[in-house]
Amino acid sequence: MKIKNNRLVANNGTMVPWVASPNIGGNLSNGGRPDTLVMHYTAGGAGSGTVSYFKKPSAKVSAHLVIGRDGDITQMVKFDRTAWHAGKSRWKGKNAVNRFSIGIELANYGKLRHSGNGGWVSATGKSIPTERVVLDEHKHFPGSEYGWEVFDKQQIDVAVEVAQAIVMEFGLEPWDLVGHEDISPHRKIDPGPAFGMDRFRTLVFGREEETWNDNIFKVDSPTGLNLRIAGNVGATVIEKLPDGAPVHVIEKSGNWWLVAKVVNGNEDKTGYVHRNWLAPN
């Protein structure tokens, strides 16, 4: 796949199906060039249903691409225009991620709940076969297992190809590929643990996550960033790192990263910070 004139071109050389959404903004920042790719799940059934919904002005939501369970792709917004997929969000020290990102929606019910007969149902009440359910905890809620609909291999394979085309066209790095749960950690949980974001990055970039996880970042918060003894907002604060302070990422734990404060090029105090307030140095 490749991108031509901000449209996705399939492997056979034809443009992927186009259904325009009216729910768009102006050109993306940075001259219409996205610098972030955000993965979502639809929390619904067939991809065609999401496409129909995004066509309605009353929906007030859209995405650049919708990928169905069988890997069918529909483009609804050109890659240089703002789609309404992220909502209140922040990444790489910048608010309103819609302004600088591409959004991809994958048809998937996401988080499920137990039905009265011991089975599983979606939020819309759709019964989900047990073989399509995986039990796992979400990184925002460690220690608690939930049911999640699995993603089909053909859908993931296509999503990888699409992401690779976007990464190549716009020069994105691994930390530019994120989930909705990463940019809106207090509101959203998609694409969730069944998606496997770390594995997806590895497939897209062809290298293990550790090759980018071990990097120097900087604090991007005008009011500073609390360095804590554990990865939660209630943990004791070790100290407040000033805006622009460099840190060395040692290990990730969901949205909380274990970092070492960098002083004169050497590692100093270690602790946890929320990744949403870090930016590549």
pLDDT tens across 82-110, in order?
999 999 999 877 899 999 999 999 999 99
Q: What is the model's pLDDT at position 209?
A: 44
Q: Is the pLDDT of residue 265 over 80?
A: no
pLDDT, mean of residues 138-165: 93
| Separation of alpha carbons 62 and 183, rounded Å | 17
CATH code: domain 2-109+150-211 is 3.40.80.10
pTM beyond cutoff 0.85 = no
**Looking at residues 45-59, what average pLDDT do you find?**
97
**160 residue type, one letter:** V
What's the average model confidence in pLDDT over 258-263? 86
Q: Do residues 7 and 15 lie in contact, with contact meaning Cβ atoms separated by under 8 Å?
A: yes
pLDDT grade, residue 230 (50/70/90)? confident
For 175-191, the pLDDT digits (tens) are 899 999 989 987 899 99
pLDDT over 60 at 214, yes or no: no
pLDDT at 210: 44
Average of per-residue pLDDT across 66-70? 97
Q: Above 60 in pLDDT, residue 267?
A: yes
Is pLDDT above 90 for 50? yes
Percent of the chain with pLDDT over 90: 67
Tell me what pLDDT residue 92 has. Answer: 79
Q: Which residues pair with 36 in a beta bridge?
A: 101
How is residue 85 written in tokens? 């997929």
261: its two tokens: 């404060």
Identity of the residue numbered 166: I
Integer angstrom CA distances of residue 21 from 25, 59, 66, 214: 11, 10, 11, 39
Assess whether 105 carries a catalytic annotation: yes
Query: From CA 274, how far away is CA 185, in angstroms rounded?
Result: 10
- Give, in order, the Cα–Cα distances in Å from 6 to each of 18, 78, 107: 12, 5, 23
User: Amino acid identity, residue 151?
Assistant: F
* Residue 211: per-residue pLDDT: 43
CA–CA gap between residue 186 and residue 245 (Å, rounded):
25
Residue 158: how many CB atoms within 10 A of its CB? 20
Per-domain residue ranges of the chain: 2-109+150-211, 215-280
- Amino acid 126: pLDDT: 94
* pLDDT at res. 207: 59
Please state which CATH number belongs to domain 215-280.
Answer: 2.30.30.40
Instruction: Provide Rg for the chain, Cα atoms.
Output: 19
Report the SS3 class of residue 138.
coil
